[in-house]
Amino acid sequence: MVRRHELSDQAWERIEPLLPVSRIGRPVRDRREIINAILWKLSTGAAWRDLPERYGPWKTAYERFRRWSADGTWDRLLVQVQQHSDAVGIVDWSVASVDSTIVRAHQHAAGARKKGAPVGQALGRSRGGLSTKIHLVVDGRGLPLAFTVTGGNINDCTQLTQVMACVRIPRPGPGRPRTRPGRLLADKGYSSRAIRDYLRSRGIACTIPERDDQIAGRQRRNEKLCHFDRHLYRRRNVVERCFNRLKQNKALATRYDKLAAHYQAIVTIACLRLWLNDFADTP
């Protein structure tokens, strides 16, 4: 019986061939059981030591999570599932939306060891206190294409080029990876000449409303206002709905991890789950 938050049979069949081969000479534990344990942690936000006994020793699940976070296994799983979904026509490249969300950091997230660890750990002081910010790009159906994680005090517009550079879905055969949606939707926080020039240089149309001060400045200079399609802009709410779905995972909605690499893995697994669920729902 498949319990709540666990992998369905169809989802397990999709990712089982993609998992790394276990080390030789050690007893192999059921990898589906381990992944279900990690998904339980993602959904509940509880401590690893509180893992239910049905998932086996908590140290086994934690060590597998930590190892696969370090060697990029979660990133590869997400890319390969995205690649398969794109090959069957699930990804909507006609339009993409970008936005960010603030995640409050728990007091346990602070205090990572400085020796050998990257400075900052994607934590910053914002209006709500110590926090982390997730910058996300979704396709036209609201499925996550790429994201970056920064401190909560980082401005949205400074991360657009970085998060767009992470949009990279390989093709199933020869050819360059797909990296460009037809159009990008964003709110006023991304309204700047540098961003519009960047998107134009990549051949990506944009629908971004101008700020009031920018409109007033153009009017003083007798310049033409940027074209803005209000009807098309309504489709931007898919990124807000994607954040709502991601934040159903308590380990993502509140950051408990000290290391940015571990929290980034949490976000990656949450995105992977969305793709697997969408693939299972697709007829």
SS3 251: helix
Distance CA 66, CA 63 (A): 5
Distance CA 65, CA 81 (A): 19
- pLDDT reported for residue 140: 96
81 closest CA partner among 145, 3, 20: 145
Q: Which amino acid is at 2?
A: V
pLDDT of residue 120: 72
Judge whether 246 and 270 are in contact, CB under 8 Å.
yes
Taking the C-alpha atoms of residue 25 and residue 161, their distance in angstroms, rounded to an integer, is 45
pLDDT the model gives residue 1 = 58
- 146 neighbors 163 (Cβ within 8 angstroms): yes
* pLDDT by position in tens, the chain (length 283): 567 788 999 999 999 998 887 665 555 568 999 999 999 999 999 999 999 999 999 999 999 999 999 999 999 999 999 999 999 999 999 999 999 999 999 888 877 765 544 457 888 887 778 899 999 999 999 999 999 999 999 999 999 999 999 999 998 878 899 999 999 999 999 998 899 999 999 999 999 998 888 778 877 888 777 778 889 999 999 999 999 999 999 999 999 999 999 999 999 999 999 999 886 665 5
- The whole-number pLDDT of residue 244 equals 97
**Class of residue 88 by CB neighbours under 10 A (exposed 0-12, middle 13-18, buried 19+):** exposed
Domains in the chain, start-ordered, CATH in brackets?
A: 92-255 (3.30.420)
pTM comes to 0.91
- Residue 221's pLDDT is 83
Residue-level pLDDT at 238: 96
Q: Is 34 helix (H, G, I), strand (E, B) or coil?
A: helix
Q: What is the pLDDT of residue 2?
A: 66
Give yes or no for a contact between 39 and 11, defined as CB atoms under 8 angstroms apart: no
pLDDT the model gives residue 24: 53
Q: Which helix (H) or strand (E) holds 275?
A: helix 260-281
Residue 133 contacts residue 113 (beta carbons within 8 Å) = no
pLDDT of residue 128: 74
pLDDT value of position 147 = 97
Q: Is 98 in contact with 160 (CB distance < 8 Å)?
A: yes
